[in-house]
Structure 1
Amino acid sequence: MSRVLLVDDEPSVRAALKELVQGRGWEPVLACSASEALEQLERADVLVTDFSMPEMDGLALLQAVRERDEWLPVILLTAHGSERLAVRAMKAGAYEYVPKPFDVDELALAIGRALEARLLRQRNRQLTVEHAIGRRLVFESANMRQVLAATARVAAREITVLVCGETGTGKELIGTLLHALSKRAAGPLVRFNCSAIPAELAEAELFGHVRGAFTGAVQARPGFFAQADGGTLVLDEVGELPLGIQAKLLRALQEGEIQPVGSGRVERVDVRIVACTHRDLRADVQAGRFREDLYYRLAVVELTVPPLRDRREDIPALAHEFALRYAERFGSEDVRLAPALIERLVEADWPGNVRQLENVVARMVALSGGGEIGPDAFEATSVPADRPAAVARGGEETRTLREQLDELERAVIARTMAAVRGNQSEAARRLGISRNTLTERLRRYELVTDAVEGAAATAGAVR
């Protein structure tokens, strides 16, 4: 439901506006002052405000709105004699003005046009973003819409951003968007996983090293800062960095300078930092595990990606998107998710968030024979109770993406080999790979005859 923010200091006018908005099927959001309106701005799809108000008039409110959301339509209600001021407001970016006392139908028509314009702008912007990042943005929830709108606003500004959220929520997508929508989009986008590198190697990986700097350094190598020069460096799980490296990272942020390991030379770099973490860095600062000065340097703007349990309305769209993606990848035909399965997915707990949902849908598609997939397939792919607690908490958090994809590829090949009764030429044709590639995969995954027969029985049971 579209939300209309109504701003007027007179209770009777607010009541009349509320009745108008509700009568057209929109949701009213009321504010008695400009300052109160700014506090509720993220809830609005269009703003209707009186021009003459104490403290901050409609023109000043319009200017404040434009600093926060340049695309939000603003409709001004102007009293007799203030038409000249209204024209100034139109030049400043107001969508339209309606004279008071307002005609109900005229104002409703203006709001309807503004909402249509808002929707069109959002869709055009989304298509532009999707083209830039090479993938679709799938969301229905209001809180994800707010996160993505804030991301778009922040992207164009040369500031450091801290992206917070549980593991698997999509922090890496926000990092990609911040780069794609920035002035650095033509430059490199480089990622560094702070938790994947041993502490003793983290400095060399970030800042580079010269030949002979340490055992095994047979040649000089540029670090991730140098690789990201002119672009964006995304620091995944920045809270895992050792304190010693944190101090050097702080210097790089403050001075724009790095010093490769083993070198006495300081190098200038032009890098925008986007830091991501699932940790509570404020608590880590209090506990002495994270530098306070570095935290404030990273969190110039802080964006929080909500967990999947707080945006369940996104689950159906995400599930259908993943099903289409993996059906195409695995060569499955006419894959559909049954309504009963969608209901089960929406009701389920997702401690591993979007990443876990993607893994589950991919596995169901891999083990299906095409056609409609029902709720029984979800039960068959759920995490067993006797799996380690670390896996149960996050679905597949303890396994790498490569390991998970290998498992899915093995299942698809086994199912295809069973369907063609071991005919490798036909299997290679259906999978869209060469006979030599298929032979290599069969050897890698140890898909000997008895294993293929077992996979065929499993696939038949799932169907």
Structure 2
Amino acid sequence: MTPPTVLIADDDRSIRTVLTQALGRSGYQVRSTSNAATLWRWVEDGEGDLVITDVVMPDENGLDLIPRIKRVRPDLRVVVMSAQSTLITAVKAAQRGAFEYLPKPFDLKELLAVVGRALAAPAPEPVAAETPREAEERLPLIGRSPAMQEIYRTIARLTTADLTVMINGESGTGKELVARALHDYGRRRGGPFIAINMAAIPRELIESELFGHERGAFTGAMNRNVGRFEQANGGTLFLDEIGDMPPEAQTRLLRVLQEGEFTTVGGRQPVRANVRIIAATHRDLRAAIRAGAFREDLFYRLNVVPIRLPPLRERTEDVPDLARHFLERARADGLPTKSLDAGAMEALRAWRWPGNVRELENLMRRLAALCPDEVITAETVRAELAEAEPMALPGAPAAVAEGPEPLSAAVERHIRAFLAAHRDGMAPSDIYDRVLAEVERPLIQLTLAATRGNQIKAAAMLGLNRNTLRKKIRDLDIPVVRGIA
């Protein structure tokens, strides 16, 4: 039996050599070329069982070649590789019919696995011709790190799907940007994108905000209110901080996902929900399930496609690109033109970024506005960062860890990050109550879970009067774990 033939097009001789050797050792026949014209001639002549092409070649863009290949040989799989490792490249490759996109540099084992899958995949079903809207030449997400490349590939794979997505990541990592990218390059891009933050709405109003209410449904309901589900009809509904959704709303949301319809608050007629759901959270929802604070069945309905957005400290190689991007945006908004010298870039990469990408953006805008020099130095960066967290300067000796991190240190770190992210004066006016609730709620939930719902034992462990514990459970709207009251 004749082994499959792989056609390679890349203007880099070293890449052609490495791929030819690796594929040859794996039993494939290989033909390689440095230009798109030769590759096209081979395809027209019926040669090859798989194409691996670079994007940038001297005579033609490899992405432009894919639709032509698909017209003359629709069964021929195309794998795209590119050093232009951006979301736009990944999405364009998917839109034009590539089987897979691999950012350079890539792992040879991964490439061989992709080749095996491509050759073994069944022939695609014929579909009606459609001209997709091309991805615009803008960068909704920035970063060339391996973690971000995997996110780009996931988004690209979802451009032709309508699946529910759960985005998990710390505050400030850009979860809404990922949700918008999924919408903007997906099948529902012609519909509305509606976002709602569960943590920003009073718990007693969330159901009305989501599903709307009828006139007279409750005191003060003078008119019918259209909820976010109706507003998002035909488009995408982004449920940010889904972990803060109260139990009653969780139950109603689960019904929408199961039945595809809902009723307004005070209404009787069901309303069809033609909406794609994208949810996001910074919480560990599996821990919340164990504590009885989040429905397990709802979690699995939402977690169809999970996307983990890494914190900035896990992808510091992206900091220079992000910093330059934010300085350019600041210039476009009318702030002075600034640049960063090499020392400043190193200082930025050495920082831990507790506030993640949002903290970096705020810092760049602040430096653009206030730094008197056109070139920003390491000293200037360190001085600004010292104000945010003076005990964690880049280059400062790390404290020796002795057991688990003290709770006070963890709370202090999160408060510093929160305040740093709201230096523009837009911080809420109830920080004190928010912080207390953030600590009290998991403390009581986990204690109740540990005592299997026995409030007498939980009160004793917490050092509280039983009536005080009951009041806190009620005030904090904590689900009661089934067990001994």
What is the TM-score of this pair, normalised by structure 1?
Answer: 0.61
* Aligned-pair Cα RMSD in Å: 4.1
1:239 match: 243
With over 3 angstroms needed to count, the CA separation of the structure-2 counterparts of 1:224 and 1:22, relative to structure 1, is closer
- Corresponding residue number in structure 2 for 1:320: 324
Q: Taking structure 1 as reference, are residues 212 and 371 closer, same or farther at Cα in structure 2, changes over 3 Å only?
A: same
State the Cα distance separating 1:243 from its structure 2 match.
Answer: 1.5
CA distance in structure 2 between the aligned counterparts of 1:125 and 1:367, rounded to whole angstroms: 39
Question: Aligned runs of 1:64-79 on 2, under 5 Å?
Answer: none
Q: What do residues 41-74 of structure 1 show as CA deviations (whole Å, max 9, x unaligned)?
A: xxxxxxxxxxxxxxxxx97x99xxxxxxxx8x99
Correspondence list, 1:432-443, <5 A: none
Size of the aligned set, in residue pairs, is 328
Q: Once the 2 structures are TM-superposed, how far is the Cα of residue 370 of structure 1 from its aligned partner? A: 4.8
* Alignment check: 8 A CA contact 1:130 1:137 kept: no
Contact 1:189/1:231, CA 8 A, preserved across alignment:
yes
**2:285 matches 1:281:** yes
- Whether 1:397 aligns to 2:418 is yes
- For the 8 Å contact 2:335–2:369, the answer to whether it is kept is no
| Alignment CA distance shift 1:376-1:155 (3 Å) | same
1:267 to 2:271 alignment: yes
Match of 1:209, SS? Answer: coil
Evaluate the alpha carbon distance shift between residue 386 and residue 267 of structure 1 in structure 2; reply closer, same or farther with a 3 A threshold: same
Q: Give matches, 1:75-224, under 5 Å.
A: 91-95=74-78, 115=81, 122=89, 125=92, 128-130=134-136, 136-224=140-228
Deviation at 1:379, TM superposition (A): 2.2
| Aligned ranges 1:14-33 → 2 under 5 Å | 24=17
Structure 2 Cα separation of the partners of residues 281 and 22 of structure 1: 43
CA drift of 1:376 comes to 2.1
More helix by share: 1
Q: Verify the 8 A CA contact 1:21 1:27 in the aligned structure 2.
A: no
Unaligned runs of 5+ in 2: 5-12, 28-47, 52-62, 67-71, 94-132, 393-408, 428-485
Choose from 369, 375, 378 the match for 1:372: 375
Provide the C-alpha distance between the structure 1 equivalents of 2:20 and 2:172, rounded to a whole number of angstroms: 32
C-alpha distance in 2, partners of 1:367/1:378?
A: 12
- What's the CA shift string for 1:249-272, capped at 9, x where partnerless? 000111121211122222112000
**22 and 228 in structure 1: CA distance in 2 versus 1, 3 angstrom threshold:** closer
Match of 1:229 among 227, 233, 238: 233
Alpha-carbon distance between aligned partners in 1 of 2:240 and 2:20, rounded to the nearest angstrom: 39
Contact 1:139 / 1:317 at 8 angstroms: preserved in 2?
yes
Are the structure 2 counterparts of residues 363 and 204 from structure 1 closer, same or farther at C-alpha, using a change threshold of 3 Å?
Answer: same
- TM-aligned CA deviation for residue 352 of structure 1: 1.6
Checking the alignment, whether the CA contact within 8 Å between 1:208 and 1:223 is kept in structure 2 is yes
Q: How does 1:31-70 map to 2 (within 5 A)?
A: none
- In the superposition, relative to structure 1, how do residues 199 and 335 fare at CA in structure 2: closer, same or farther (>3 Å)? same
- Corresponding letter in the other structure for 2:418: E
* Offset, 1:29: 8.0
2:77 alignment partner AA: A
Deviations 1:105-152 (A, max 9, x none): xxxxxxxxx646997982783994345xx6553212122011111112
Please give the alpha-carbon distance, in whole angstroms, between the structure 2 residues aligned to 1:170 and 1:321: 14
> Higher mean Cα deviation, 311-320 or 207-216?
207-216
- Give the counterpart of 2:340 among 327, 337, 342: 337
Question: Hey, what's the Cα distance between the residues in 2 that align with 1:195 and 1:189?
Answer: 19
Structure 1, unaligned stretches of length 5 or more? 1-7, 10-19, 35-57, 63-70, 75-88, 97-113, 408-463
Secondary structure of the equivalent of 2:237?
strand
Cα distance in structure 2, aligned partners of 1:124 and 1:253: 27
Structure 1 residues 344 and 28: CA distance shift in structure 2, 3 A: farther
**Residue deviations 1:209-248 (CA, integer Å, cap 9, x gap):** 1122222222211111111011000000111111121010
C-alpha contact 1:351 1:394 (8 A) present in aligned 2: no
